[in-house]
Structure 1
Amino acid sequence: MNIRTIMVLGAGQMGSGIAQVAAETGIQVILYDQHDQFVQRGLNTIQKNLSRDVEKGRKSEAEKQAVLARIKPSIDLADAKDIQLAIEAVVENRDVKCELFRQLDALAPQQAILATNTSSLPITEIAAVTTRPELVIGMHFMNPVPVMKLVEVIRGLATSDETTNIISRFAKHMNKVPVEVNDFPGFVSNRILMPMINEAIYCVYEGIAKPEAIDEVMKLGMNHPMGPLTLADFIGLDTCLSIMEVLHEGLGDTKYRPCPLLRKYVKAGWLGKKTGRGFYNY
């Protein structure tokens, strides 16, 4: 399959990043969200990123305009009628994703691949709500998408070899490095990362050290570019909690129990950078 046009569903931080990278590599992109203000916010983010590239000499103004011209805003799922690939990047909620895949299954061409950028939810379960489970796959990008090279390619139980090969080639076309993993809660990246973040939160909860000290230990002692609590704020504490709950439920091990302090912060609306407050103030 020759992928020429894709639809990215969700114009938030991840979706806008995926749309930008795809358009930079010559792909026609339909950037969809439920409301026009969300789509415009995503387009504004892309424009800022590209303008920064122009300022730093990484792109010309003409190249920037060419990328923007390849991105079509949409608030109508019916625009999926001519795509070869959909990449879903909405909120990390099983019911929301499954309902979206039901609708996409009815609207996208029969041969179109439906990919999800889920960071933890089962691909097999999402695929089961469609009539094309062999064409459903996980395509988990890392944040920020324009910078990070990794894409976890996650096969569901029914995902075909052909679908996996097409998506791996497409990831390479986007200048990413695809790594194939199996369909287990949290896959590889978040099965390792989120318990580390959760343990860092326990260190705050139990009064072992302040967030700044914990982050300094991990940066200077373990050579991490960013401390786990800063990273949690950047990811979004609500997303961290959702992933920990998927791990806890899916693997049934108490070591994945979300820290009570994480739950408290989420209930308070302290979700990290996007709300101006998490473990740090922004």
Structure 2
Amino acid sequence: MLKKDNLFGELLAEFIGAFILIFIGAGSVASLLLNNQSYNMWDIGLMWGAGVTMAIYITGAVSGTHINPAVTITLAVFRDFPKKKVVPYIISQIAGCFTGALVTYALFRKAFLAFEATNGMIRGSASSVQTAGIFTTYPASYLSNIEAMFVEIAITAFLLMVILAIGDAKNANAPQGKYAPFGPILVGLTIAIIGGSFGSLTGFAMNPARDLGPKIFLAVSGWGNIGLPAPNNYFWVPIVGPIIWGLLGAVIYDKGVSRYIVTSVSESDSTIASNKKAA
């Protein structure tokens, strides 16, 4: 019996998961900036990570909760994710992130207006990068686009290594069987520690949809060029860096770790015998 095509459900799940990511993540940054909540980078990273964890618990059984084109493309290249689903998944992810930004803005609209009035800020001006950064990422002022891309390269590669390690059936240290439900917590914790460690450099995008969806929202809701193409044409960095170098994380894990995992005594004996024969 053929498995029923559930593409619509998968795309809807990706949309909902991506929405949750921005809804919780951007909501935490909005509370920090607009309502003077006393958060630090670890707190912000933890809330973004918790948002991802909840998104996985809610939608993972349907789509796997990629909610990130870098993850989708990497799984299509290095695992068995169907390539025909890559573009639809990415469109749903971007749409979900756009909508997450829209709804978060709607809930904080009066707080935005009050902040702009208090600070004499004109939306769309250079100074409004501060409020735009609630939804999307910009590099620290001392980083060039290339330097920022290398930050995104490093942190996205690490994220993909963790995701692949958690999903590796050969990895005895990964949560499997009755412990499988702990996997989403580890993904969220990984995002949190990346945010706490490197978030001050680039805002730890690691996700083209998480960045582009809100930038599109900003571009059509008053921020204009601050959204797209962003100051110094930064928009391409959180797209190119995570997609290309998420693949690097897969190469590092597959070639540097997974291939050396011994899954049984017989396999270990076979490897030893082969090594002796080669010697």
- The normalised TM-score by structure 1 is 0.29
Q: Which has the higher strand share?
A: 1
| Higher RCO (C-alpha under 8 Å, 6+ residues apart) | 2
Larger radius of gyration: 2
More helix by share: 2
